[in-house]
Amino acid sequence: MKTSPVPPDSLLRLAAATAVFAVAAARAEVPEPCPARAICITNGQVEIVHHVDRKATYHTCFACDDLAADDWRAVAASRATSALDYDVCSNGIVRVPMDNAPRRFFRIGSSYKPFGKDDALPRAPVRADLEVPLSKMEEKEGSFDASTGTLVLPKPNKSSQIWFGNYQWNEPVDATDYEWLVIEKRDATDTFNVRIYYNDPDGGGGSFQTSLGCETYRDRCYIRLDPRYKGSIRMIQFQAASNAWHYVPSDTVVTLDRIYFTQSRPVVPVVDDGPAVPFDDSIPATNLVRAMKVGWNLGGSLECNAPSWDPDLRLGIDTEVIWSAPYCTEEMIRWPKEHGYSTIRIPVTWYNHIIDTDYTIDPDWMRRVKQVVDWAIGAGYYVILDEHHSVRENMRRPLAHADGYIVRDNPDDIAESRRFLRAVWEQICAAFNDGYDEHLIFETMNEPRNTDETHGHAWQPGLACYYYNEQLGYWRTWCDNRACPECLADYAILNDYNQLCLDTIRASGGNNARRFVMVPALSTNRNTLRADDGMTDEQSRLTGEAQSPGLFRMPRDTARDKLLATIHDYALGTDSSNPETAFTDAMKTDLADCFRALYNHYTATNGIPVVIGEAGAFRKKIPLSVRLEWIRFFAALARRHGMAVVYWDSGEDGEATMAEFDRTGLRFFEPEFVQAMLDAMEGD
């Protein structure tokens, strides 16, 4: 590394900075760094490159005029050497890349906080940004004014593009030394998609692509180049969002200021470094769940994810509205609390906000999630924060990097799933820790399952299930997966994933070392959570109760009395085309028997209460009288068994909606239904 001249006063500051770094490392109980092997002054910053025990490399960067011991800055180097390629953390936080170990945060006076896998070395050569001339824009179905940079993209899906050669692809751009394509823009009226097309490196004539949804709010959008194909880029395409995926019907208009390839992206991790709040460690889990009572899910918002036909699409912050729900506001979050709800579950999908090979979550996305959580905490809710659609239908086999996770008995899939879950929970825990008391609850996963199409048992893994035949007057076998080897293996895999998530949460320390954590069984099915109670086939057929292999295990916890089990239950059906139109006595018996079994095994015996994290019914498909009968029975039954109920609210008002809260009008669609649920949970 080239060394620039250092003024004498900066040398004194540099010595002080090195001393501070050594003290911090000693307090964190790691070897003190050897003398700096290289020093570089760039744009007013001093970079010190250390080696520790020949195993770990520390890159420390200090602003020359900001080296006070009580407010110093240290950052980790990434793949490139430009000054922008550092994650700057203030208030005594240091981000450190480690060879063959997770990238880590640490704070002076506290322990390391893991932060995902690092592949910072070796570094690429320093290159100036590679400009993309806007003059190359081909209008296609859109229009482009080169004098103003104004691009108009008609809906739906109409596009314009920049070609780097003719249709024989003989003039592609070689971006081998770059990591990102950057779009600098302003005044966008809607989200639009940008796709990078690559040539087949093997000369087969095919093409590959990387996609990003460019958000309205962000004036600089980064698209990570595919490292396999970036040596031959043939086209950049700009495409209007489909009407099916966004509620703005008019043409998209945006002003493009600059497009270029660059080596680095500045990333400022979101860290919970504000004032610590006390955590009431005396509350038993059973009391907490009773206080949670009734809540609602912020469905259809932060959980939104890319369509299955475009799994690599990164949607950015505007993901929040692509399923037709409005943007969340503080007033929207506060209103249901003021009208009876005690709990809010905030489903969040993380995989399509991963921005690099280190599984780094887009800090802007984390800040948005944190803003919504803070609104909910401020309103007085119990808040459940989860990992939502990172397992879903039609996942690749094997999983690609940052695809999410899957409960599938394949070594590559298990390894990728573990890397993903660990990295995501490390970052969630870094953003949510000492600033949050017992009102914030973590949920390890949502409906974890094996979605492999060749398996087909995602929702009934290892179960024998029955249905009541009205004409014959008795229960008939619906499925019997008890002998499926994949199903049985899936239980052990999920048990491992739950343990990994819980261990990661606890290892982050602070309030997270004792935070309440919700744990699902396979597919969050109430029957996969059940213990093997020795039920015979005859008993199952007579009662309609599913037979479970009893292979689910709650994870081992270092905290005492801080685990919650969770189930989802849609007794009136999940198929909007064929919902149940009656709440029968057989359904009531089945629910009562299952809740009693769960209560006896988890709550009464082990002090682990159950949270019904999702329950709902189709508002426009099932008569109100049937839904009232169901919710009164269901909520009262949950109350008697020490359970909380969190109603599924999908955030839109279509024909298949389960929503009871009008997020735009700030009202309940059916006040009678909501009040019946609240009254049933309160009891007599």
pLDDT at 114 over 80: no
589 within domain boundaries: yes
Element (H, E) at 682: helix 671-682
Token pair 């809740």: residue:
595
pLDDT attached to residue 144: 94
Q: Would 640 be classed as within a structural domain? A: yes
Residue 538's pLDDT is what? 58
Q: What pLDDT digit, counting tens, does each position of 493-521 carry?
A: 999 999 999 999 999 999 999 999 999 99
Lowest mean pLDDT among 57-61, 160-164, 622-626: 57-61
Quick check: is 122 in a domain?
A: no
pTM score of the predicted model: 0.80
Give the confidence band of 11 by pLDDT, cuts at 50, 70, 90.
Answer: very low
| pLDDT band with cut points at 50, 70 and 90 for residue 80 | very low
Least confident among 19-23, 258-262, 617-621, 625-629: 19-23
In whole angstroms, what is the distance from residue 570 CA to residue 311 CA?
28
| Mean pLDDT score, 401-408 | 95
Q: What is the pLDDT of residue 360?
A: 93
Say yes or no: 142 and 236 in one domain. yes
Residues 169 and 232 in one domain: yes
Domain end point (choices 87, 117, 147):
117
- Would you put residue 178 in left (φ > 0), alpha (ψ -120 to 50) or beta? beta
Q: Sign of the CA dihedral 259, 260, 261, 265?
A: negative
* pLDDT for 483 beyond 50: yes
Alpha-carbon distance of 360 to 572, in angstroms, equals 40
Which DSSP category does 472 fall into?
A: T
pLDDT-derived band at 569 (thresholds 50, 70, 90) equals very high
Residue 158 belongs to some domain of the structure: yes
Tell whether 65 is covered by a domain.
yes
The predicted structure's pLDDT at residue 477: 54
- Mean pLDDT throughout 218-236? 90
Give yes or no for residue 463 having a pLDDT over 90.
no
Residue 140 burial by Cβ neighbours in a 10 Å radius (0-12, 13-18, 19+): middle
- Same domain membership, residue 399 and residue 295: yes
Look at residue 214 in the predicted model and tell me its pLDDT: 78
CATH number for the domain that contains residue 183: 2.60.120.430
Separation of CA 542 from chain center? 42
Q: Which of 71, 88, 117 is the C-terminal boundary of a domain?
A: 117
Per-residue model confidence as pLDDT tens digits over 588-634: 988 999 999 999 999 999 999 999 999 999 999 999 999 999 999 99
What is the per-residue pLDDT for 98? 33
Mean pLDDT of the chain: 79
* Residue 350: closest CA among 297, 415, 424: 424
* Average pLDDT for 216-244: 85
Alpha carbons 671 and 684: distance in angstroms, whole number: 20
What's the mean pLDDT in 654-664? 94
Q: Residue 172: what pLDDT?
A: 86
Cβ-contact 215, 230 below 8 angstroms = no
Residues 112 and 143 in one domain: no
Are residues 511 and 410 located together in one domain of the fold?
A: yes
Is the pLDDT score of 376 beyond 60? yes
Mean pLDDT lowest for which of 223-232, 460-469, 597-606?
Answer: 460-469
223 plus 309 within the same structural domain: no
The single residue listed with the structure tokens 């890159």 is 59
Flag whether pLDDT at 124 surpasses 50.
no
* Cis bond upstream, residue 609 (ω within 30): no
Instruction: Answer yes or no: do 627 and 488 share one domain.
Output: yes
Clarify whether residues 543 and 657 are in a common domain.
yes
- Between 118-122, 366-370, 589-593, 669-673, the lowest mean confidence (pLDDT) is in 118-122
Q: Are residues 81 and 143 in the same domain?
A: no
Q: Name the percent of the chain lying above pLDDT 90.
A: 53
User: Does residue 275 lie in a domain region?
Assistant: no
* 229 & 365 share domain: no
CATH of the domain at 493: 3.20.20.80
Task: Please say if the pLDDT value at position 316 is more than 80.
Answer: no
Count the domains in the chain: 3
Does some domain include residue 276?
no
The separation between CA 341 and the C-alpha centre of its own chain, rounded to angstroms, equals 25
Least confident of 166-180, 323-337, 410-424, 491-505: 166-180
Q: Is the pLDDT of residue 367 over 90?
A: yes
Per-residue pLDDT, averaged over 126-136, amounts to 88
Out of 53, 86, 117, pick the residue that ends a domain. 117
* Helix, strand, coil distribution of the chain in percent, nearest 5: 25, 25, 50
DSSP letters for 398-452: SPPTTS-----S-HHHHHHHHHHHHHHHHHHHHHSSTT--TTEEEES-SS-----
Mean pLDDT of 347-367: 93
Q: Is 85 in the same domain as 188?
A: no
**403: in domain:** yes
Q: Are residues 589 and 648 in the same domain?
A: yes
pLDDT of 13:
36
Residue 88 has what pLDDT? 31
Question: What is the domain range of residue 258?
Answer: 130-262
Rounded to an integer, the average pLDDT of 194-208 is 77
Res 541 pLDDT > 60: no
Under the banding of pLDDT at 50, 70 and 90, the label for residue 545 is low
pLDDT, position 203: 66
